[in-house]
Structure 1
């Protein structure tokens, strides 16, 4: 699935051969979408003769055959969202139907008959049906799935009802991405070892498969992730990530072989057909696109699929370096991008959103924009990030706005000492949760000369009350003593950028803070983008925000320290 820039950015399902360019399967008049659990995901699945998908209102499920227009086969109520689509062996469609107070797993027939298989007052995800046995995930409404979730089995045959049994998971164990494998075994990712690794449930016993000190799955902000698949010869293809670099591995018994060695970032969507694995991958010089790896050949690189989307950047991109700085809290890793002249100059420290996100080693146009204007850019894998295990991910709990700020400042100070950055031109920026980090960095003494906060969270407590139910536990568990961003505490110039149509964070809160700051100093700036969403996904909004940000930094550098 990809957005279509020729039709206002609507999302369409694409099909591509190994040689020809991709073509759209769905019409721009019926966009694909959905907001199950606020962030959507799992919005389409391909069957033998039907493509099933969720409409962008989230309330309708469509079936699209080889001929004719899509047919609406299921419709939910006003507060209902569909997602997590999956097919059973008999082509029966499964879906999660989420509501404000309860979730359901339903089956949908070709004629549109909807049957409720499971209902829960918690959250549900990843229905997988095999031989009448339904496997699915469940977690409580006061938890996030990457903190505590359960994998359950239930008898889904008509006329049968039985209590579901828990296979794995607890308040201290996250279980994600279940999948029925060869021989009727049930596979899933679990962090019971401290890392999200692949496990198998067979004959009543759970065993680890291919243990590695890396996370093999990301935090499931969206549905539909599948970070592994099975080959026709009995092997398993899976991804690993250390928070920066991704790898694709073929595991066959005790033998492990690296695939797609030319890719450095791989999204959590692995499709295996026979002895070919397809992934969405990227490199520091190429944007994300579809690649295929031949599992029977000697170790080597993946090849691009189709004829589009594989062109490198229009200029020579210097690959970033993976760096480590030691602090009193341990080793801290970050990506460092340098400009071509490699002389000391301005530095931009970027705090990623999430904060359960990572720092993927891939082409990022925002980073390249600043590098092309002479900035070095450091992307910090601060405490709370994913890819470095459960303990590191949870280390930010109760310390949001403190530990993340400390880590960003540690990297900035190190780069000033090492001569990469000039001390009076060090800036920090972040979006969403990273915007909160940037604003809190502006509220304490440190190395930064200015801060940009885009689509930022201003007051975590108020934000917790306003976000959808799925996200409320995340806001609650992160909250620490830093609290709301208060204008009287801000010590450096701040630029606040927000889209007026943001449904995830409050533009009103951001602009109120901007007005309060403007009353104290003309050094502070604001930019409200009419119609802009949380991600500023519209190209015009993105360009305006980047131009405003770099102009803001230049004004500070021209004025010099106050």
Structure 2
């Protein structure tokens, strides 16, 4: 049972809303509470309801649904300075900004693009209000995130166009916008934009630059599109410095799988690029930032469509001569680790796979994850099923943190032991105290070194 409660200054609590489903994003204004509710067999990016309740009296008044429902995700409610309720909904297939005026829902800035990410965490705020009535919101395409300023008359202009990626934490104070942004050559940091500039206002970093010198100048990746088995497949292509093609190729499958591939400086990618690898980051089916239909296209096909898209990118780069046959690898973490393991079970371009903090058996994972995530696991599961050691066709490196609370280290190490017992060049690394994200610097360093050594060992045994 979920509850939304109020706490008085004296510490007295009062239950405002109680639900057998999940509750989130409570927003209060003038005695009216707005909140989001969804059922326990749904995810908040699939079906939610935006609800209003009158709480001015001791008895909470009847609630009413103003948006959302089965097949619609309404998220991020916020009361605007004009007293109207704003929110983001994907009722058109795209997460766009709406407002409730006189009981009628009206679009603020209709656009065929997602203006919000999948709500994996609470507290996302993908739009903000300036003092002059301008609304600033994010606009995503799976790789880049733009900042769009919409004035009171509906006019639109881009701001902060020098940023390529923006996290969903938009803050506006008067006429100053603050975001956590990044570029293709800089990691995430706090940036500000002066909205008073009527032209394309640029973003400027806040605070001092990093004191750590960058050992080389990163080469911005290119955004590529190929014809895949289920339609166009887009990916970021990072080339190593110098004229080194063809060479080894590493295809990275992002986690989630309801995630995106942000165009920002990623030191993990740069680590392999600096060692001569071409790196392709694939926006495979199921990724966010390309609308509801694309996001749900992986439902009941996990371990199949995602693998197809990653393999199609590798085959394309081999055909172009941008990768050396026999030196094509795939790596993924969490849900991406499951993708990498399934790729290792199928004939194709990959000669080895690395699975980090990986999901191995979706059915078991569905039973072990928090209740919030179980509908996602159930919706994704398809005929690919659990990864069986006897199905693996190429060398696999399994990396897992012992303190992982999201995927099972015990299951991963048991899987690795079974692989090793079958012979071949399989390897594993258990990082003591490592979490699901390998967020400790030492754990990340050990994992990167192990992965690079794994690929080098395989390449060293290839015939000249």
Q: When the two structures are superposed, what TM-score results if normalisation uses the length of structure 2? A: 0.98
Which one of the candidate residues 421, 442, 447 is aligned to 1:540? 442
Name the SS for the 1:427 alignment partner.
Answer: strand
Aligned residue in 1 for 2:170: 270
Aligned residue in 1 for 2:391: 489
Conservation of the 8 A alpha-carbon contact between 1:430 and 1:454: yes
For the pair 1:287 / 2:214, whether they are aligned, the reply is no
Conservation of the 8 A alpha-carbon contact between 2:229 and 2:308: no
Name the SS for the 1:345 alignment partner.
Answer: coil
Aligned residue in 2 for 1:12: none
For the pair 1:138 / 2:57, whether they are aligned, the reply is no
Q: Extract unaligned runs of 5+ from structure 2.
A: none
CA distance in 2, matches of 1:402, 1:238: 34
Of stretches 521-530 and 445-454 in structure 1, the one that deviates more from structure 2 is: 521-530
Name the SS for the 2:46 alignment partner.
Answer: coil
Name the SS for the 1:165 alignment partner.
Answer: strand
Q: CA deviation at 1:280?
A: 0.2
Conservation of the 8 A alpha-carbon contact between 1:287 and 1:309: no
CA distance in 1, matches of 2:2, 2:215: 47
Q: For residues 111-260 of structure 1, what are the structure 2 equivalents within 5 Å?
A: 111-252=10-151, 253-260=153-160
Of stretches 206-215 and 355-364 in structure 1, the one that deviates more from structure 2 is: 206-215
Name the SS for the 1:183 alignment partner.
Answer: coil
Of stretches 536-545 and 109-118 in structure 1, the one that deviates more from structure 2 is: 109-118
CA distance in 2, matches of 1:152, 1:200: 13
Aligned residue in 2 for 1:512: 414
Which one of the candidate residues 208, 220, 227 is aligned to 1:319? 220
For residues 364-398 of structure 1, what are the alpha-carbon distances to aligned partners after superposition, in whole Å with 9 as ceiling and x for unaligned?
01000000000010000000000000000000000
Conservation of the 8 A alpha-carbon contact between 1:123 and 1:140: yes
Q: CA deviation at 1:308?
A: 4.4
Q: CA deviation at 1:241?
A: 0.5
Q: CA deviation at 1:309?
A: 4.4
Q: CA deviation at 1:534?
A: 0.3
1:143–1:561 CA distance, 2 compared to 1 (3 A): farther
Which one of the candidate residues 238, 246, 255 is aligned to 1:337? 238
Q: For residues 407-422 of structure 1, what are the structure 2 equivalents within 5 Å?
A: 407-422=309-324
For the pair 1:439 / 2:346, whether they are aligned, the reply is no
Which one of the candidate residues 386, 394, 417 is aligned to 2:296? 394
Name the SS for the 1:424 alignment partner.
Answer: coil
Q: For residues 348-427 of structure 1, what are the structure 2 equivalents within 5 Å?
A: 348-427=250-329
CA distance in 2, matches of 1:127, 1:193: 24
Name the SS for the 1:385 alignment partner.
Answer: coil
Name the SS for the 1:422 alignment partner.
Answer: coil
Name the SS for the 1:135 alignment partner.
Answer: strand
Q: Extract unaligned runs of 5+ from structure 1.
A: 1-101
Aligned residue in 1 for 2:6: 107
CA distance in 1, matches of 2:182, 2:11: 39
Name the SS for the 1:469 alignment partner.
Answer: coil
Which one of the candidate residues 451, 457, 466 is aligned to 2:368? 466
1:115–1:309 CA distance, 2 compared to 1 (3 A): farther
Which structure 1 residue ranges, 4+ long, deviate > 4 Å from structure 2? Answer: 308-312
Conservation of the 8 A alpha-carbon contact between 2:229 and 2:309: no
Name the SS for the 1:173 alignment partner.
Answer: coil
Q: When the two structures are superposed, what TM-score results if normalisation uses the length of structure 1? A: 0.81
Conservation of the 8 A alpha-carbon contact between 1:285 and 1:313: no
Q: CA deviation at 1:561?
A: 6.9
Aligned residue in 2 for 1:525: 427
Of stretches 200-209 and 312-321 in structure 1, the one that deviates more from structure 2 is: 312-321
For residues 473-501 of structure 1, what are the alpha-carbon distances to aligned partners after superposition, in whole Å with 9 as ceiling and x for unaligned?
00000000000000010000000000000
CA distance in 1, matches of 2:184, 2:134: 29
For the pair 1:449 / 2:351, whether they are aligned, the reply is yes
Conservation of the 8 A alpha-carbon contact between 2:229 and 2:312: no
Aligned residue in 2 for 1:305: 206
Of stretches 324-333 and 424-433 in structure 1, the one that deviates more from structure 2 is: 324-333
CA distance in 2, matches of 1:328, 1:549: 29
Conservation of the 8 A alpha-carbon contact between 2:164 and 2:183: yes
CA distance in 1, matches of 2:11, 2:207: 35
For residues 298-346 of structure 1, what are the alpha-carbon distances to aligned partners after superposition, in whole Å with 9 as ceiling and x for unaligned?
2131011122449784411100000000124211100000001242100
Q: CA deviation at 1:111?
A: 2.9
CA distance in 2, matches of 1:381, 1:211: 24
CA distance in 2, matches of 1:312, 1:417: 37
